[in-house]
Each structure stands twice: as C-alpha cells, then as structure tokens.
Structure 1
C-alpha cells in the first residue's frame, strides 16, 4: 500500500522495501502512469513515485528544467540511498538525465524511457504549437493531440476506460507549468553534456513513439558513456502503461545488483 510523503515541496507515494527506485512521470501524464508496474517493483525495491514540481501537490520551481532537476536531486538526497536507481519516462526521463548531468553521484543507475538529448526541428515545433494552442484555447483544445503523443490509435480504441482516466488526469495539469515545460523542451540540447553521465544507463523506447521517436533514443544511447538501448515492440510513449509486462521484463536484469547478474 502506498504511503504519501512530502519531501520539502515535493509529494511522493512510497511503497515496498529495499534499495530506492524513483519513478518520474511524463509531461502529459502523472504518477498514476506507473500503477501497473509498481506492485511488482515494490517486492524488491522501495518505490518512490513523486509528483514532479508543478504537478499534483508539488510546488512549481523557477529556473526551467535545470531547477526541476536540482529540486528532484534534493529529494533523492533526502531519501539518502546511495544505491538509488532513477527511472524517468518522457519528461521524467529528461529530468533524470539533467539530474545526472548536474549531480553525477546522485544515482547508481538510470533508466531513461522514451526521452533523448535533443529534439529535431519538427519535434521542437510540436512543443511550441502545443504551448500556443493551450494558452489560446485551454488544455481541452490539445487533449486529443496529447493522447496521440502518448498512445497509438489502436491502443486508444481498445482501452476506452483507461483513455478516459488519462484524459481526466491530463486536464488537471497546470497550463502554465505545461507551457513552460514545452518551451524548455523545445530549446533543449543536452548532447554536449552527456559525457558527464558516468553511471550505467538503460535506454528504452517504444517502437511506435511519436512524441520522442526512436532515433532520439538511438542517439542518446550512442552518446552516453555507458548505455545500452532496447526498443520495445508494439509500444508508444508510455510503455509501462501500454505493455507493463514487456516493460518489466525489459528492466528486470538492469535492476538487479551487480553481484546478482554476474
């Protein structure tokens, strides 16, 4: 059962016992996007699922993605587990990556699911357009676009209840936080700083991800000093919701302590 904690201005659900495993949610979703995988992960880890700054009950921070990463580094430090693993999906992956760049000893391992180091120009335009449309017309005007970025059309059609839940969660997003994050991601280029990430990284990407297409993950894995890439068949931007078993199998060996995989 989840216990709710406040780490300074960041709220988090905590479950299980063992080494700390942080799960950082995407921009167009919330911490509930990990609900399908949390029960299994909590058998071997203390699973900490924060609401990122500006989402849910966690207070927003000024200063862009770097400030978000610094705030989350404070949370990891407060937990005080030097063996911590940080898993980020989408926007949460960018936060985890920036955190590892700015705080190199913050985590033992990284799992970066459906993110990258920099967007293509069409990708940057997509964020600019989402921000402009939400500012002019409200979040409801971009909900369909947001859901398409998260899930393939056939998945949406076959999971109507889940999609209703995801739409409702998206509409609770603070529009100003969303718009600021879109602007930050549109300008982001972490490629020159990737050599600073010294810890092992597992880079995952859904083969049908339209929000952060597979070439971004291929580039990320190639530029990180110690990384391997796995493409998840049949998945889009939120694989842990779409195919939780596939996602859990993909990360299982990486989560094990080094002595357990020898």
Structure 2
C-alpha cells in the first residue's frame, strides 16, 4: 500500500499531518490551509484509491494506514488530525507512536463507527454497483439540509472518482475498527470537534472520545453535519488555529528548553492552566523567541539578565540549561552573571551564581 501526499507551508515549520474522510481527497482540508500553512508544514494524504493514491486489492486495517503515515513522516515529532476515517487514522497513530505525536485533532470522527454489519453491506454493494449510488446518501449525511451546491458538488465528484474496491476495503477496515478501550493511552494534547447535526458520528461519539482521552477538549460546531470543516469552515478553522496556532512557538519552545521539560509542562496542564500555557507558547515562544532581530544566544543573555534582576531563580535554572542549548558556554554564562552583579545588585548575582553552578554541575 502506498499513500500519496502533498506538502504546504514553510519548510522549517513544525509538521502537521491531516487525513481525509472516506470518499474525499486532500482537498477536503482546503478551507483550513490558508490559516494552518502560515506556521505549519502541512502534509495532507489521500486514502488508498482516493485522489492521487494508487488503488489497492488487498485488505488493510486502520492500523495499517497509521503505520503508512508513520513511515512517510520519518522520525520527527509532529501534530496530526483528521476528519472521519482520517480522524480514526490519526487516533491510531497517536496510540501506535505516542512519543512522536505532540497534538491530536479529531474532527467528526469516532473510536468505533457503530456495528460492523452496515459497513460490510455498503462494501458489498459498492463492489457490485460502484460508488455512484452513494452520492445522494453521503451528501445527506455530510451536510445539513439546504447545503449550497458549490459546497456539495466537489466532494460528490471526489466520491465518484474513488476506486470502488479501495472504497470497499476501507469500509471493511472501518467495520473492524474499535479503539474505545484504548483511549486512556493517548498522551497527545487533544482537541475533539463535533458537528451538532452529524448523523454519521453523532455527538455521543465525540463525547466518548473527549471523556476517554486524558485532558481532551471538546468543541461542538453549531449547524454542522459530518464534514463540519467544509460546511462551517470558519468555525473549524478558528478552533484548529487556536489549538494549533502555537505551532512555531511549540517548535521554538522544544528547541530551547528541550523535549523533556516541555513534555513535563504539558503533562501537568489542567483546564485552569491550559489557556496560560497556550498564551506563553503563542506569544513568548511564537512571537518573541522566533523574531529574526536577535539570535537565540543573545536572547538567552537578555533572558538570564532579566531573571536575575527580578529574582526568578526557578526560571533562571531552566534558562541556564536553555542558554547551554542555545550555544552559550559556561564561561559566557559566567560573564552574563558578572554583568548582573553591577547592574542588578550583588545579592541577586550571588543567588544567581548559586543556581547556575548547580545547573552546570548537573549538566556536566
């Protein structure tokens, strides 16, 4: 099995993988691209026999699709999301490789898409008749009543262009999919998005995800059916932007502070502190630390000085480690602290030297 994909956004941006629903292609995420690709390197893939991906004849599972995604993302850490079947693949990826997935967006999807018989029946009929008979059925499930033709027709065209056997095999994979008893194993920061009028994955499916995944947030989009990201594009784009909008900031935060520190900080996030964590990631790391006017060595010098001046010794220890990661030598850190003795006061510098010496000994 080979999945074809396309990349958009800055080459040095953090990676975001987005998966489509059954019967659609990478274009299902077009409404979100202008916003997300400003800071993320967005990888969108096509399912087997959909869009640019070759047709298949052999059975596959949702886990097989997840392994394929992991294969073409290399070894880097990334965020992943998907709508419907693409969301199921994203969930499987997050469980197969929790150390690789930082953020998870589950849009109009489920940990189990109902009893298997209807999916097997659909697969059998598609094998016998093709996909043309599905156009009216899925449109009624994908969109609310009275959807504009210019919104529905492109996805109907995608469906009609899908290889019938590949579609049927995907139905078989959905029939066998059930991760409800494994949701507690998801460690990624998670956003669950649901359409309030979605007949394919009703709100209770989203609630099962949000309640089962530790720390997950649930957002319900009004007047939206199954393809909420198309039908209510602005609302879904806003939700994803706010949740993932710290992409560049998170990348910088991890590079400066290290994965271990950031993972500990994120693991301790609660509903009470989540907005503050988002704030510092967006603005401190995404807006200030990523500005081109100063290199990171210089920013570390400024930060050490400010922390000494204000007496923030816990933060100072963290940023001594960050300064080493940013390329400052112990001797250069010593020079910064000597400078603070003159301009911030000897007692402040004395305490700072104690913190720095402890950190440098630990690092060595």
Secondary structure at the residue paired with 2:133? helix
Distance 1:71 1:81 in 2: 15
* Cα separation, 2, equivalents of 1:189 and 1:97: 11
Give the conservation status (yes or no) of the 8 Å contact 2:51–2:158. no
Q: Show CA shifts across 1:42-99 (max 9, x none).
A: 112111111133422324475321111101111222xx432x2101110000011111
Task: Tell me whether 1:34 sits opposite 2:34 in the alignment.
Answer: no
SS at 2:73 equivalent: helix
Distance 2:3 2:196 in 1: 32
State the match for 2:130 in structure 1.
138
- The 3 A distance-change label for structure 1 pair 212 and 146 is same
Partner of 1:69: 66
In structure 1, stretches of 5+ residues that fail to align are 1-7
Q: Which residue of 2 aligns with 1:12?
A: 5
User: Where do residues 100-111 of structure 1 align in structure 2 (5 Å cutoff)?
Assistant: 100-111=94-105
Among 32, 39, 43, the alignment partner of 2:38 is: 43
Which one of the candidate residues 65, 77, 86 is aligned to 2:80? Answer: 86
Given the two structures, how large is their TM-score scaled by the length of structure 2?
Answer: 0.64
Structure 1 residue corresponding to 2:109, chosen from 105, 115, 122: 115
Residue equivalent to 1:5 = none
Larger Rg: 2
Residue 150 (str. 1) matches residue 139 (str. 2):
no
Describe the shift of the 1:95–1:209 C-alpha distance in structure 2 as closer, same or farther (beyond 3 A).
same
| RMSD, aligned CA | 1.9
| Structure 2 match to 1:4 | none
Q: Which gives a bigger RCO, structure 1 or 2 (Cα 8 Å, sep 6+)? A: 1
Identify which range, 52-61 or 176-185, moves more after superposition: 52-61
TM-score (norm 1): 0.87
**In the aligned structure 2, how far is the partner of 1:10 from the partner of 1:183?**
18
Contact 1:76 1:106 in 2 (8 A): no
4+ residue segments displaced more than 6 Å? none
Change (3 A) 1:96 1:195: same
Query: Cα deviation per residue 1:111-149 (whole Å; 9 max; x = unaligned)?
Result: 00011111333xx44323322322222211222112222
Deviation at residue 26 of structure 1 after TM alignment: 0.5
Structure 2 stretches lacking a partner, 5+ long: 251-276, 281-364
Equivalent runs, 1:1-262 vs 2, <5 Å: 9-17=2-10, 18-59=13-54, 60=56, 62-77=59-74, 80-82=75-77, 84-121=78-115, 124-155=116-147, 159-255=148-244, 256=246, 257=249, 260-262=278-280
Instruction: Tell me the distance in 2 between the aligned counterparts of 1:141 and 1:101.
Output: 35
